[in-house]
Chains A and B, each alone.
Chain A
Amino acid sequence: MTTSTQPSIQPSTQERQAALKAEIAASRDREALIKAQAKTHEDTWGKGPPFFSSASFAFWQEVAKGHFHIASCSACAHKFFPPRVICPACWTPDTCTLQETAGEGRVFSFTESHAVPTRVIPIAPVLLVAVDLDEGVRVLTWLMDTPLSEVKMGQRVRIAVESVLERPTYVARRI
Chain B
Amino acid sequence: MSDVAICGSAVLPNAIYFQPEEDLAMRAIVAAAKDAGIRREDIRGLIGLTPRPSATQHYMSSHIASRLRLSVEYIAEIEVAPAGLCNAIRLGAAVIREQNLPAIAIYGSARESAVPTGDYFDLRTSRISDASFNGPFGMGPIAWDALAAQELLSAGEATERDFAEISVRLRNSALQNPTAFFKKPITVDEVLASRAVASPIRLLMICPRTDGAGAIILAREDIAQRDPGRAIAHHAQAIAHDGDNVVSEFAGRSFGHMPATRAAADKAWKQTGLGPKDIQVVEPWVPFSPMEIMVMRALGYSRDYTKETTVSPSGGLVSRGHPAVPTGFYSLHEIVEQLRGEAGARQVKKARYGMTASEAGNFNTCVVDIFARFDGGTTAA
Verify if A140 is at the interface (C-beta below 8 Å from B): yes
- Alpha-carbon distance between A140 and B138 when the two chains are bound, in angstroms: 10
Residue in A110, A118, A130, A140 whose beta carbon sits within 8 Å of that of B121 in the complex: A118
Verify if A133 is at the interface (C-beta below 8 Å from B): yes
Verify if A141 is at the interface (C-beta below 8 Å from B): yes
Residue in A50, A56, A111, A136 whose beta carbon sits within 8 Å of that of B146 in the complex: A111
Among A51, A111, A132, the most chain B Cβ lie within 10 Å of the Cβ of: A111
- Alpha-carbon distance between A146 and B143 when the two chains are bound, in angstroms: 18
8 Å CB interface, A85-122 against B: 88, 105, 108-120
Query: Interface with A: B73-81, B245-253, B329-337, which one?
Result: B245-253
Among A80, A130, A136, the most chain B Cβ lie within 10 Å of the Cβ of: A130
CB contacts (< 8 Å) of A125 on chain B: these are 196
How many interface residues does chain B have, given as a range? 35 or more
Q: A109-B255, A126-B137 are in contact. Are A115 and B147 (CB under 8 A)?
A: no
How many interface residues does chain A have, given as a range? 35 or more
Contact assessment for A113 and B142 in the assembled complex, using a CB-CB cutoff below 8 Å = yes
Contact assessment for A50 and B136 in the assembled complex, using a CB-CB cutoff below 8 Å = yes
Verify if B308 is at the interface (C-beta below 8 Å from A): no
Verify if B154 is at the interface (C-beta below 8 Å from A): yes
Contact assessment for B135 and A113 in the assembled complex, using a CB-CB cutoff below 8 Å = no
Residue in A48, A138, A153 whose beta carbon sits within 8 Å of that of B253 in the complex: A138
Contact assessment for B138 and A120 in the assembled complex, using a CB-CB cutoff below 8 Å = yes
- Alpha-carbon distance between A88 and B134 when the two chains are bound, in angstroms: 18
Residue in A82, A113, A148 whose beta carbon sits within 8 Å of that of B138 in the complex: A113
Contact assessment for A117 and B138 in the assembled complex, using a CB-CB cutoff below 8 Å = yes
CB contacts (< 8 Å) of A113 on chain B: these are 138, 142-143, 146, 197-199
CB contacts (< 8 Å) of A48 on chain B: these are 132
Contact assessment for B137 and A141 in the assembled complex, using a CB-CB cutoff below 8 Å = yes
Q: A51-B132, A80-B249 are in contact. Are A115 and B137 (CB under 8 A)?
A: no
B128-151 CB mask vs A (1 if < 8 Å, else 0) is 001111111111101100111011
Contact assessment for A140 and B151 in the assembled complex, using a CB-CB cutoff below 8 Å = no
Q: A117-B121, A148-B199 are in contact. Are A140 and B134 (CB under 8 A)?
A: yes
B245-288 CB mask vs A (1 if < 8 Å, else 0) is 00111111101000000000000000000000000000000000
8 Å CB interface, A51-86 against B: 51, 53, 56, 60, 80-82
Verify if A49 is at the interface (C-beta below 8 Å from B): yes
- Alpha-carbon distance between A49 and B126 when the two chains are bound, in angstroms: 10
Contact assessment for A117 and B122 in the assembled complex, using a CB-CB cutoff below 8 Å = yes
CB contacts (< 8 Å) of B139 on chain A: these are 128, 140
Contact assessment for B249 and A128 in the assembled complex, using a CB-CB cutoff below 8 Å = no
Contact assessment for A111 and B150 in the assembled complex, using a CB-CB cutoff below 8 Å = yes
Verify if A137 is at the interface (C-beta below 8 Å from B): yes
Of all chain A residues, the one with the shortest Cβ separation from B147 is A109
CB contacts (< 8 Å) of B195 on chain A: these are 114
CB contacts (< 8 Å) of A115 on chain B: these are 121, 138, 140, 142-143, 197-198
CB contacts (< 8 Å) of B53 on chain A: these are none
Residue in A118, A128, A132 whose beta carbon sits within 8 Å of that of B137 in the complex: A128
CB distance from B147 to the nearest CB of A (A): 4
Contact assessment for B247 and A140 in the assembled complex, using a CB-CB cutoff below 8 Å = yes
Verify if B344 is at the interface (C-beta below 8 Å from A): no
CB contacts (< 8 Å) of A105 on chain B: these are 251
CB contacts (< 8 Å) of A49 on chain B: these are 126, 131-132, 135-136
8 Å CB interface, B175-191 against A: none
CB distance from A173 to the nearest CB of B (A): 15
CB distance from A29 to the nearest CB of B (A): 25
A138-156 CB mask vs B (1 if < 8 Å, else 0) is 1011100000100001000
A8-21 CB mask vs B (1 if < 8 Å, else 0) is 00000000000000
Taking Cβ atoms with an 8 Å cutoff, the residues of B that contact A are 118, 121-122, 126, 130-140, 142-143, 146-148, 150-151, 154, 195-201, 247-253, 255
- Contacts beyond the supplied A56-B133, A137-B250: 16 A-B pairs with Cβ under 8 Å: A105-B251, A111-B146, A111-B199, A112-B198, A113-B138, A117-B121, A118-B121, A120-B136, A126-B138, A128-B137, A130-B247, A138-B253, A140-B133, A140-B134, A140-B139, A140-B247
Taking Cβ atoms with an 8 Å cutoff, the residues of A that contact B are 48-51, 53, 56, 60, 80-82, 88, 105, 108-120, 125-126, 128, 130, 132-133, 136-138, 140-142, 148, 153
What would be 26 A-B contacts, judged by CB atoms less than 8 Å apart? A49-B131, A56-B132, A60-B132, A80-B249, A81-B249, A82-B130, A82-B133, A110-B150, A111-B147, A111-B201, A112-B196, A112-B199, A114-B195, A114-B196, A115-B142, A115-B197, A118-B122, A120-B138, A128-B137, A128-B147, A132-B251, A132-B252, A137-B249, A137-B250, A138-B251, A140-B247
